Structure 1
Amino acid sequence: MTGLRIELRRSTALWAGLVVLLSGTGMLWLVTSAGSLWKGNSTSAVLELRLPLAYVWALVVGLAALQGMRDSRAGVTELFATTAKPAWKRLGTLAGSVAGVVAIAAALLCLGLVARVALGGGFVSAGFVPLALTAVLALASSTLLGLAIGRMLPHPLTVPVALVATFMVATTAGRALEVRSPGDEISALALLTPVMNPPGSDLVTTSTSVDLGQLAWFTGLGVTAFLLLVARGLLARLAALVPAGLALALALSIMPTKFSDVLVSDSIASKLVCDNDVCVGRVHADHLPAVAEAGKAALAELAVLPDAPKAVHEDTSAMAHLTPTRRDRQIIYLNTIGYPRRLEMSPDEIRLELLAGAGVASCAEPYSFNTVEAVARYVTAGYFNGELAELASERLMWTNDRLRGEIDQAWQRFRAQPANEQLARVTEVRRMMLTCEDPERMLDVLQAGR
């Protein structure tokens, strides 16, 4: 214990822990907006930390490499080599102090985020634990790697090169995980870093295969890094690579190669809680009263449809941020991804959103826009509402003079038809939206086009 106290006092251990806490907190504050979803779910909060880890990870490796050069800079490498005390004991104390403080700091950072969510009235579950363990293990093993690099390569350029190289690997891996559709292929190598862009949803987490693969890889990396730190001679260093090699093979064998297998629904946060036939994810239970009021009213108005929907559910699918909202004849799915967030709308605004498309969500990809379909959604919402009204999710259509003119013109043509014809055409548009069949023709159907 005496040696450990000395190392804590004389090494960069405490500074490294401070770097993790301050840089992690600072970067998270800089890269997230005031309306970020992670503040409502502990799992999302720890997952959000994966982006700032690109910077924290690089700083930790660079600082550890500087610490690893201590013996060389002090000119005592040969002196310590002649002592009777085994190298692994002396260097193990150093590694334990620095990596241990970094691990504790990383754990405190994760727990601080969870506490922030809890104090803000958010949803806290055990789902954050695997993500936190991965972050802690990644930083601790990378600290050991930095120490080993500094000891093996005591050159003035070692620290800046290690720092920049780590940051480049992190940013490259992050970009490699940026996809446009769930079926996109990804490189499993990109998952060997702790870095990932947050998905913009508080209903998802990383899959078990990703968690296990990363835990296996960082464990093997940590063992190899420690063995490299204490190794003497080329053969010992070559043998030290075996744990990392085995861990790499194991990790790559279980890592997914499709993005749809990287993120999955958080089984705890996305579990549905219901008020009769209206349900939202458990993490959004505080919004259930407003959604239930809107959902029940919308279901009553949609009851005039043949084969009318019977329930309203939040779309809790893992890929909701990359694909159009789920659709079902019996269920209206409410998309809560994107802005403005539907869960933050008033009950009447949510009701209009549910009525648009005759109870079927837009066929457009998330964060995309289809003018023709948007006009059709306005007309169908107006049919059940009795008059046109602004859709909060399509505010641009309502405030733009030209687009508003298109809505008014389509509405007048639609209303000029007999009542039974109006219902038939709305029913046909609902059928088309359920299968996303030719969205460009929906407006023609409503306007009695041929």
Structure 2
Amino acid sequence: MVNRRILGIELRRSVAPWAGFLVAGVALGFLYSFSGPWDKSAEDWTEQWTNAAGWVRSLLNILWPLAIGAGALQGLRDHRSGVGELLASTPRPVLHRALKTLGATAIAVTAGYLLVFAVAAVQVVVNDGYFHLAWVPTLLVGVLGLVAGAWLGIGVGRALPSPLTPPLLALASLVGVTVLTLAGDPASSVGGALPARVSLLSPSMGNVRDVFAIVSDRVSAGQAVWLAGLAATGLLLATALTARRRLLSLLPAVVAAAVALAVLPADRAQDYVFDHAAAELVCQGSICVTRMHEAQLHAGAGQAEEALRLLARLPDHPTAVREVLVGEDEGVRPRSSTEVTATFDDLDLAKKEKLTRRLVAGAGTPTCFSYSKMVTHEDYTKSIRETVARSVAASWFVDSYAPPYPEGSDSYPDAAENNTLAKRTYDSLRALPAGEQLARMSALRSVGLSCQGDQLDALTGGAP
């Protein structure tokens, strides 16, 4: 129904290509220019396929208003050119004329969105990310969201042909998406302000916090219905010539909202499902990791074996390394006298040849503190002392001192003071007889396994 030559002209000379460039440019700018979870841990946007789809989707809280604003600007074109009455008098159906604009805009914003995902996907492949197809619905719903937003903008722009329509529509959609996204985020200050079903009407799903969490099929289906209804409303608004038809154009969005609210889960715990296949343990020798980490097993196995060899100096040494699925903010991880437990973030250090030092920290025991559980100054002080002790233990086992905090870092309060404490503790420990050093390291391990006592006191023998 759309002439290819006309569509090509639209893609070259209308607002459509600029909308695609804007989507890609803004998304890549956010991902590369701003500090956030995408460049700090296993939730990096270039580490796993789920992360790539999730982080690009999360940016719809900014990209969706841009798409709507660009669409509204596109919808004003006939009015600005003064050819509305001329085009209305031609025998060609208005739908045929509208489809070229709608099609070009859809192609442009889709290309921009997929370009951002492609940038992430190439790096995921290079990083040996675990391949599966559960991320596809997240990506496709994101594409549908951008197209729906652009089409809705075109429809509103044609229905309300005012120079103020694009900026006001973009601002209103930005506020709306932000409120819905924050209301659906339990970590935000307004989390729970709206029913879960209503908050899921936002095209953005929020930040990626768990590499094993996949958007549930119910959420993807409900959002797809809702966004398809918005796209249909935009299409009808773009072709409506009377006030009555414009009013009827809202019907698809209303029906879609009703259907979506019936499909979307009422419990926020059902927004995501756990990827059991990715969490299956795969073992090589004495190290067991999840299938999602299988590609790094070869490099990590050698470093894990080295850590176990170093820990074998202890009388109650562990004999295996196992990955556990406990996030930093979920509480302390399981601890075992026979195994060294490692998290996903720990094992990512295998790529940087830093896994051995991490595994022997604390004499092979996990931390006793969780960042989310520290609420008092006393908790923070205990955590700092443990961090210093664990770092000293790691340096002792690998026979190479390294400070617990980066030198010259302004991100950690009292970093220089704590680094000095760690160096003094390490030097004092190394000055003791070999038997006493081993005894104190064994005492530190006992504290780490029971979380009763102070690991730094164990290293210093109770000395101040």
Q: Bin the TM-score by the shorter chain.
A: 0.7 to 0.9
Structure 1 residues 160 and 277, CA, compared in 2 at 3 Å: closer, same or farther?
same
The match for 2:98 is 91
Structure 1 residues 22 and 269, CA, compared in 2 at 3 Å: closer, same or farther?
farther
Amino acid at match of 1:230: T
The match for 2:73 is 66
1:227 aligns with 2:236: yes
1:353 aligns with 2:358: yes
Amino acid at match of 1:332: V
1:149 aligns with 2:156: yes
Q: Deviations over 1:377-413 (max 9, x none)?
A: 3576588x39795476798589722354466679999
The match for 1:402 is 421
**1:222 Cα deviation from its structure 2 partner:** 1.4
**1:5 Cα deviation from its structure 2 partner:** 3.2
Structure 1 residues 394 and 250, CA, compared in 2 at 3 Å: closer, same or farther?
farther
Matches within 5 A, 1:17-166: 17-31=20-34, 37-78=44-85, 80=87, 85-118=92-125, 124-166=131-173
Give me the whole-angstrom Cα distance separating, in 2, the residues matched to 1:68 and 1:51. Answer: 27
**Counterpart of 2:57 in 1: which secondary structure?**
coil
**1:51 Cα deviation from its structure 2 partner:** 4.7
The match for 2:385 is 372
| Residue 19 (structure 2) aligned to one of 16, 19, 32 | 16
**Counterpart of 2:9 in 1: which secondary structure?**
helix
Segment of structure 1 superposing worse, 214-223 or 134-143? 214-223
| Residue 291 (structure 1) aligned to one of 294, 300, 306 | 300
1:240 aligns with 2:230: no
Matches within 5 A, 1:205-284: 205-253=214-262, 255=264, 261-262=270-271, 270-284=279-293
Contact kept in structure 2, 1:397 and 1:404, CA below 8 Å: no
Give me the whole-angstrom Cα distance separating, in 1, the residues matched to 2:403 and 2:298. Answer: 20
Q: Deviations over 1:113-144 (max 9, x none)?
A: 32344366655543432222022101111111
Contact kept in structure 2, 1:357 and 1:429, CA below 8 Å: no
**Counterpart of 1:333 in 2: which secondary structure?**
strand
The match for 1:332 is 340
The match for 2:411 is none
> Identity of aligned pairs, percent?
29
Give me the whole-angstrom Cα distance separating, in 2, the residues matched to 1:428 and 1:55. Answer: 50
Give me the whole-angstrom Cα distance separating, in 2, the residues matched to 1:216 and 1:27. Answer: 28
Contact kept in structure 2, 1:374 and 1:394, CA below 8 Å: no
**1:64 Cα deviation from its structure 2 partner:** 0.9
**Counterpart of 1:49 in 2: which secondary structure?**
helix
Give RMSD over aligned pairs. Answer: 4.4
Give me the whole-angstrom Cα distance separating, in 1, the residues matched to 2:220 and 2:430. Answer: 52
Contact kept in structure 2, 1:8 and 1:14, CA below 8 Å: no
Give me the whole-angstrom Cα distance separating, in 2, the residues matched to 1:360 and 1:249. Answer: 52
The match for 1:432 is 450
Structure 1 residues 221 and 409, CA, compared in 2 at 3 Å: closer, same or farther?
farther
Amino acid at match of 1:244: A
- TM-score when normalising by structure 1: 0.76
Segment of structure 1 superposing worse, 26-35 or 412-421? 412-421
**1:248 Cα deviation from its structure 2 partner:** 2.7
Contact kept in structure 1, 2:69 and 2:170, CA below 8 Å: yes
Give me the whole-angstrom Cα distance separating, in 2, the residues matched to 1:336 and 1:186. Answer: 32
Segment of structure 1 superposing worse, 219-228 or 113-122? 113-122
Amino acid at match of 1:280: V
Segment of structure 1 superposing worse, 35-44 or 135-144? 35-44
Structure 1 residues 290 and 26, CA, compared in 2 at 3 Å: closer, same or farther?
same
Contact kept in structure 2, 1:298 and 1:354, CA below 8 Å: yes
In structure 1, stretches of 5+ residues that fail to align are: none
**1:145 Cα deviation from its structure 2 partner:** 0.5
**1:158 Cα deviation from its structure 2 partner:** 0.4
**1:154 Cα deviation from its structure 2 partner:** 0.9
Segment of structure 1 superposing worse, 139-148 or 206-215? 206-215
- TM-score when normalising by structure 2: 0.74
Contact kept in structure 2, 1:200 and 1:321, CA below 8 Å: no
**Counterpart of 1:280 in 2: which secondary structure?**
strand
Contact kept in structure 2, 1:315 and 1:336, CA below 8 Å: yes
**1:152 Cα deviation from its structure 2 partner:** 1.4
Give me the whole-angstrom Cα distance separating, in 1, the residues matched to 2:225 and 2:56. Answer: 20
The match for 2:330 is 323
Give me the whole-angstrom Cα distance separating, in 1, the residues matched to 2:398 and 2:118. Answer: 51
Structure 1 residues 106 and 350, CA, compared in 2 at 3 Å: closer, same or farther?
closer
Structure 1 residues 180 and 443, CA, compared in 2 at 3 Å: closer, same or farther?
farther
Amino acid at match of 2:16: A
**1:201 Cα deviation from its structure 2 partner:** 6.1
Matches within 5 A, 1:401-420: 401-405=420-424
Structure 1 residues 225 and 14, CA, compared in 2 at 3 Å: closer, same or farther?
same
The match for 2:5 is 5
**Counterpart of 2:46 in 1: which secondary structure?**
helix
Give me the whole-angstrom Cα distance separating, in 2, the residues matched to 1:256 and 1:310. Answer: 44
Give me the whole-angstrom Cα distance separating, in 2, the residues matched to 1:147 and 1:234. Answer: 16
Amino acid at match of 2:249: A
Structure 1 residues 345 and 17, CA, compared in 2 at 3 Å: closer, same or farther?
closer
**1:57 Cα deviation from its structure 2 partner:** 2.5
Amino acid at match of 1:194: P
The match for 1:168 is 175
**Counterpart of 1:322 in 2: which secondary structure?**
helix
1:193 aligns with 2:193: no
Structure 1 residues 325 and 259, CA, compared in 2 at 3 Å: closer, same or farther?
farther
In structure 2, stretches of 5+ residues that fail to align are: 375-379, 408-414
Give me the whole-angstrom Cα distance separating, in 2, the residues matched to 1:418 and 1:41. Answer: 42
